[in-house]
Amino acid sequence: MRLNAYLARAGVASRRQADELISAGRVRVNGERGQLNTVVASRDVVEVDGRRVAPQRLAYVLLHKPAGVVTTARDPHGRPTVVELVGRPERVVPVGRLDADTTGAILLTNDGRLAHRLAHPRYGVPKVYEAEVEGSPRKEAVAALREGVELDDAVTAPADIRVLRRRAGSTLLELTLHEGRKHQVKRMCAAVGHPVRQLHRSRYAGLELGDLAPGNWRELTPGEVAVLRRVTGLE
Long-range interactions of 117-122: CB distance < 8 A, separation 24+: 117/232, 117/233, 117/234, 118/205, 118/228, 118/232, 119/95, 119/180, 121/178, 121/179, 121/180
Q: Cα-flanking dihedrals φ and ψ of residue 162, to 5°?
A: -130, 140
Q: Which residues are catalytic?
A: 99
Rg (CA), the chain: 20
- How many helices (H) and strands (E) the chain has is answered by 7, 15
